Amino acid sequence: MAQIKKKKVSPRQKMINLMYVVLMAMLALNVSSDVLKGFTLVSDKLDRSTRNAMHINEGIYRNFDEQMKANPAKVKEWYDKSQYVKRMSDSLYNLAEELKVAIVKKSDGKNGDVHDIRNQEDLEAASAVMLAPNNGRGEELFRAINSYRERITRMVTDPDKRKIIEDNLSTEVPEKGKREGKNWQEYMFESMPAAAAVTSLTQLQNDVRSAEGEVLHTLVSNIDVKDIRVNEVNAYVVPNAQTIVQGGRFTAQIFMAAVDTTNRPVIYVGGKEIKSDRGIYETVCNSTGDFTLTGWIETLNGSGEKVRRDFSQKYTVIPPGATVSADIMNVLYAGYDNPMSVSVPGIPSNRLRVSMTGGSFTQKGDGKYIARPTNVGGEAVISVAAETEGRVQEMGKFTFRVRKLPDPTAYIAVGDDHFLGGKLAKQALMSMTDLKAAIDDGLLNIPFTVKGFEMVFYDNMGNVIPEISQTSAFTERQKNLIRQLARGKRFYITKIRAVGPDGIERTLNGAMEVIVN
């Protein structure tokens, strides 16, 4: 076969080809810049919308506060529900804000500003924070959104508004993501520019405040928070809870607003009159599922005419269940005081009985505990039981993996800053006293004790001069060698030995490079 000869390209043609490649790259950069600018504009608009929603919600909370002081007997139940809505909305909102800050700091450094992202195009920051093996927080956010959506929609009576909230807070993976085999957090944050990830979390915050507002308006519809005068007669059902643990009791008070105490209404449930002077209806819940309490109330008006009002109240009976969550992450660290939260819906914390295998478990406040497992590589099982209706009922068992505390990062304290390596003025070097180490990664904040380290210098001939400190303090010999270094010279701090609260001594990998500035 004849060999095909490559045509020689002239220098002029090579230059033209190179200019074309550069032009295409510049066009690509311009498109990227425009897209990133769009994310910033959308995020700013969402921030304004969120602030407006928060302002409206705060106004409703203030009205609840005022009316609670004026008429606590009438307002307390709805006031307590509004505070419950506020707590769980703030929790998810604050989690999203915390993740925004973590992503921006991962992209721009410790001084990163969520409102002024410098490296907007960074494709690694969101993945590192949300999808990193073992400590990625995407699954935590996924569970938090699902939990919030389930609880908040139970409090919205309008089915159309409930559907909107469910859609806004959906964690369903689109068909494209399913075809690629991705879960929700991977679809949302994998290879996502930092600006886009922050915008997504800002959208979540906006959806949370909108859902919070819808529920608050639903609560307001149950009580006129501006005027305690009655201008309408209606039937009401006030349950002690809408979610009942299997084997527990569903209790509800059924009454008509503005009832004359001398003329008690007659209440019918399931076509049968209930015999209760206070309008209390009670039934034992032996089966799980969704149920509806229906009936009507009859009374006489001022003219002696019979007035009837129908009522309907949905409630859910669930099997025994509890929630146990590590306040830091989904693992426990051996030899360390791991903060934990334990709760059971509808049961106060003073009626919970909580224990753990493979370590100690100590209560430190309302629903707050300290777990201190002992065996690295094993499992710690937390058991939760509750006192309900005079008996102790098991609510669940929760298994956590037990790991050794991760290695800390060594640093030199320079004022309020942690110097991790690089250029440092000689004056600052001469004033340093000791080497420190800590885990400070946004989740853990744990100081370690440095037990010793080695400093490595090089003379003008390139010979290695090691100097060892058997404590955390810099020795006089080490400082003298630093004093002799000219600007631009460097030395290394290595073989750092440190002990954490678990009592395990470890030698840190890597070395800190210091350049005299």
Long-range contacts of 110-119, Cβ-Cβ distance < 8 Å, separation of 24 or more: 114/198, 117/40, 117/194, 117/195, 117/198, 119/194
Q: Which two tokens stand for residue 60?
A: 């409703």
The 10s digit of each residue's pLDDT in 89-111 is: 999 999 999 999 999 999 999 89
Report residue 261's pLDDT band, with 50, 70 and 90 as the boundaries. low
pTM of the complete model: 0.41
In 10 A of CB 271, how many CB atoms?
Answer: 8
Quote the percentage of the chain above a pLDDT of 70. 80
**Which superfamily does CATH assign the domain made up of 332-403 to?**
Immunoglobulins (2.60.40.10)
Cross-strand partners of 116: 113
Return the pLDDT at 242: 56
d(CA 224, CA 301) in angstroms, rounded, equals 22
Which residue reads 């106004």 in tokens?
Answer: 59
Residue extents of the structural domains in the chain: 33-222, 235-318, 332-403, 409-516
Q: Name the 3-class secondary structure at 6.
A: coil
Report residue 7's pLDDT band, with 50, 70 and 90 as the boundaries. very low
Return the pLDDT at 20: 45
Contact 361, 369 (CB under 8 A): yes
Q: What average pLDDT does this structure show over 8-36?
A: 50
Contact 317, 288 (CB under 8 A): yes
Q: Which CA distances in Å does 188 have to 174, 176, 195, 307, 491?
A: 10, 12, 13, 55, 43
Average pLDDT of the chain, as a whole number: 82
Residue 22 has pLDDT above 60, yes or no: no
Residue 62 has pLDDT above 80, yes or no: yes
**Please, which residues have CB within 8 angstroms of residue 102's CB and are 6 or more apart in sequence?**
129, 137, 442
d(CA 206, CA 212) in angstroms, rounded, equals 10
Contact 361, 374 (CB under 8 A): no
d(CA 367, CA 444) in angstroms, rounded, equals 21
Residue 164 has pLDDT above 70, yes or no: yes
For domain 235-318, say whether CATH 3.40.630.10 is its number.
no
Q: What average pLDDT does this structure show over 369-373?
A: 93
The 10s digit of each residue's pLDDT in 432-469 is: 999 999 998 766 788 999 999 999 999 888 899 999 99
The 10s digit of each residue's pLDDT in 297-341 is: 887 765 566 778 888 887 767 666 566 666 556 789 998 998 988
Report residue 82's pLDDT band, with 50, 70 and 90 as the boundaries. very high
Contact 255, 299 (CB under 8 A): no
The 10s digit of each residue's pLDDT in 121-155 is: 888 899 999 999 889 999 999 999 999 999 999 99
